[in-house]
Chains A and B, each alone.
Chain A
Amino acid sequence: MPGEKSEQNPLAVEHLEQAPAEKTYLDSNELILNMGPQHPSTHGVLRVILKLDGEKVLGTECVIGYLHRGVEKIAEHRTYAMFNPYVDRMDYVAAVSNGLGYCEAVEKLMNVQAPPRANYIRVILTELNRMASHMLWLGTHALDIGAITPLFYTFRDREEILKIFEKYCGARLTTHAFRIGGCLYETYDGFEDDVTKFSNFVEPKLGEYETLLTTNRIWLERTKGVGYISAADCKALGVTGPVLRASGVKWDLRKAQPYAAYNDFEFDIPTGQNGDTYDRYIVRIAEMHQSLRIIRQAVKAIPEGPIMAKIPKVLKPPVGEIYHSIEAPKGELGYFIVSDGSTQPYRVRVRPPSFVNLQALDKMVRGQLVADVVAVIGTIDIVLGEVDR
């Protein structure tokens, strides 16, 4: 592995010395254990170097970058429209959210507004995508902890969402559903029916997940009190999304700074109190219910009209810069775009929620057991495509 060939610093663990030097009564030796990058529960290619005292974690060091593709560099060499599909490849389980954030950022820079119908379509697809992302998270997270069944349940239901995406835009995963200025595709015949049918189909299924896990004794043992993080630590570390909300902070960008059509809908922000793995699970389940609520309202009220704003064929945003962020399934996803007035962005910076949230791993696992590291990596809900970009 490339990282290991460094001469002066073979394992890059010096700073782990800062971990509190608690002594156990056995006074055993410390052990450095490498986890990943090809570990099944690291959700991709994350390498974590663990410093252990027996089963207890004294500190961690994340080695990331294995999936680095230079997305931000590529952006500087593509036109605004050409870069749009690339953003789908960052958080590939929530590609629709990525596209929404990017399109809205460029629209803001150009001072155009997507038409109301486009905004409603955007909200419906984004919320469907949020559910798909949470379902994938739940399945794999439960699998990591040892429960195999939820994976089959969630993938069965996620399939229905992907079918809607496929019918709408032809792609299932990296959808490229939106364009700068609105949506390229009008909804297909029966889109509203499909979405309504899906929401009726999936509501009892969410209950099924809960019967499998919420009061399951093994699940409780493995998640209650595991990976605790306080609200103050979340704010200091910049952690957002369900992790922040599970620590009791009622903050969601869809409410705090509404974008697209989120102002038109009623929904709650679910929060937890304990900031542990179990609360984050409860928050995400509740978020899926809220997404359903939004989808139902949006399908009923979807307005008629154009789906594309009047924008020029060649996009040349005026000189300036913009920071726009949305509430992606994993947290605050921000785009900082600098325009020099040409057809290509001068700089695109992506503020990835997974990258920032992953930094909290160390705080969350210190003093816990090795097996909990797996649970905590799962509960942060990272996608390495977004961490490394």
Chain B
Amino acid sequence: MVTRLKGRFGSGIAEASTYLGQNYLIADRSIVFNVLQALRDEEQFDYNVDITAVHYPQREKQFDVLWVLYSFARNERMRVKTRIAEGESAPSAVPLWEGANWLERECYDMFGIKFEGHPDLRRILLPDEWKGHPLRKDYGIIQQDQEWVKINLGIESGQ
């Protein structure tokens, strides 16, 4: 499978390997949607388990965006990863899997990563007017949007 994908996407797939028995591949942002589509249509990865991100502030491309896929037919998992810089967007997987909708919204809520082609990219867990994205590493653990708290809860601080 990996050779098939590598043959098709060439150097767009930077790394495809296994760690602790789990397969993963790192694809370039420009082709990651096509990789996901190929995995779904040609390799039977029909179930999108999870979409999430990891923040590495010291890196030039700060965010890892991850798709965890599963194939019912093969009973296999695959993690697809891509790296994006601050301000860059990731392709939305909603056209491939409907269930990606809320997962991407959560990712946007927590990291501020925009998903291109998402039908309704709004915050999901935090209030719509909240400022900041809590799962970024530069967001403190007791930090909060004081202004929002003041306006909406009528108190000086939630802490």
Decide if A and B are genuine partners. Answer: yes
B125 and A64 within 8 A (CB): yes
B141 and A238 within 8 A (CB): no
A334 and B119 within 8 A (CB): no
Question: Which of A65, A77, A237, A359 contacts B125, CB < 8 Å?
Answer: A65
A320 and B19 within 8 A (CB): yes
| A70 / chain B contacts, CB cutoff of 8 Å | 134, 141
Q: Decide yes or no whether B75 CB sits under 8 A from chain A.
A: yes
How many residues does chain A have at the interface if contact means C-beta atoms less than 8 Å apart?
A: 48
Q: How far is the CB of A45 from chain B (nearest CB, A)?
A: 12
A73 and B134 within 8 A (CB): yes
Q: Decide yes or no whether A104 CB sits under 8 A from chain B.
A: no
C-alpha gap A388/B106 in the complex (Å):
10
| A359 / chain B contacts, CB cutoff of 8 Å | 99, 101-102
Question: In this complex, what residue of B is CB-closest to A65?
Answer: B125
| B110 / chain A contacts, CB cutoff of 8 Å | 72
| B55 / chain A contacts, CB cutoff of 8 Å | 347
User: Which A residues from 1 to 56 make CB contacts under 8 A with B?
Assistant: 2-3, 5-6, 9, 12, 15
Mark the stretch among B5-13, B30-38, B45-53 that contacts chain A: B45-53
Mark the stretch among A179-187, A201-209, A266-274, A349-357 that contacts chain B: A349-357
For chain B, the bracket of interface size reads 35 or more
Question: In this complex, what residue of B is CB-closest to A109?
Answer: B20
Q: Decide yes or no whether A322 CB sits under 8 A from chain B.
A: yes
C-alpha gap A74/B134 in the complex (Å):
11
Interface SS majority for chain A: mixed
User: Which B residues from 100 to 159 make CB contacts under 8 A with A?
Assistant: 101-103, 106, 110, 119-120, 122, 124-129, 134-135, 139, 141, 148, 151-153
| A236 / chain B contacts, CB cutoff of 8 Å | 97-99
User: Which B residues from 70 to 86 make CB contacts under 8 A with A?
Assistant: 72, 75, 77, 79
C-alpha gap A388/B126 in the complex (Å):
9
Q: How far is the CB of A44 from chain B (nearest CB, A)?
A: 14
Q: How far is the CB of B130 from chain A (nearest CB, A)?
A: 9
Q: How far is the CB of B85 from chain A (nearest CB, A)?
A: 18
Q: Decide yes or no whether A249 CB sits under 8 A from chain B.
A: yes
Q: Decide yes or no whether A293 CB sits under 8 A from chain B.
A: no
| A9 / chain B contacts, CB cutoff of 8 Å | 128
B141 and A77 within 8 A (CB): yes
Q: Decide yes or no whether A82 CB sits under 8 A from chain B.
A: no
Supply 6 further A-B pairs (C-beta < 8 A) apart from A238-B97, A359-B102: A15-B119, A73-B141, A236-B97, A238-B47, A351-B50, A351-B52
Using CB atoms and an 8 Å cutoff, list the residues of chain A in contact with chain B. Answer: 2-3, 5-6, 9, 12, 15, 64-65, 68, 70, 72-74, 76-77, 108-109, 111, 233, 235-239, 249, 251, 256-257, 320-323, 325, 332, 334, 336, 338, 346-347, 349, 351, 355-356, 358-359, 388-389
Could you show 27 A-B contacts with beta carbons less than 8 Å apart? A2-B148, A12-B122, A65-B124, A65-B125, A65-B126, A68-B126, A73-B141, A76-B141, A77-B141, A108-B20, A236-B97, A236-B98, A237-B97, A237-B98, A238-B47, A238-B48, A238-B99, A321-B19, A322-B19, A323-B79, A336-B68, A338-B54, A347-B55, A351-B68, A356-B99, A356-B102, A389-B125
